[in-house]
Amino acid sequence: MSITIRPALPADVRGINRLVEPMTHTGILLGKDLVSYYESVQEFLVAIDESGEVVGCGALHVMWEDLAEVRTLAVHEGQRGTGLGHRLLDALLERALGLGLDRVFCLTFEVEFFSRHGFEVMSETVAPDIYNQLLRSPDEGIAEFLDLARVKPNTLGNTRMIRSLHDAG
């Protein structure tokens, strides 16, 4: 079956929600309201099968002038093991390069998967002036990136990983 990866449209949002929602019950992904998906639809890529069903998705959320986060990377259970997750992540990394970004962050349980794409466990610190700017954001992803205590209950067991787009990978 042929799978096409393309930018998401508002018409894809309910399909994204149907794909992601079961993974929120197991704690793999954080749940979001439909309105949040609509507000961020331009950040998403979707994988569409021949019947038009959303069978994969992923988002790239810009956090700073040189930094973005991969979010909501998900593949339908029937597509796992086919390489679709890798294709989606590669497409998101290409999108980040196209935006002129230098680094991509993720918060994940899938350390081995992201490691195969050049991500490393995060050990870097943020310059104080940038840290103070990022603290002003209400975005939970930025709080996760900064490793703020207030997000710890939602992120226990997850690993903060980062990849430089200008290194091997």
Residues 10-48 pLDDT 10s: 999 999 999 999 988 887 887 788 999 999 999 999 999
The residues facing 106 across adjacent strands are 161
Which domains are present in the chain? 4-164 (3.40.630.30)
Q: Is the pLDDT of residue 153 over 70?
A: no
Entry pTM = 0.84
**Lowest-confidence pick of 99-113, 122-136, 146-160:** 146-160
As a whole number, mean pLDDT of residues 127-152 equals 65
The closest alpha carbon to 82, from 55, 108, 59, belongs to 55
The closest alpha carbon to 36, from 62, 16, 51, belongs to 16
> Rounded to whole angstroms, how far apart are CA atoms 18 and 14?
6
8 Å CB contact between 8 and 38: no
Rounded to 5°, the CA angle 117-89-160 comes to 60
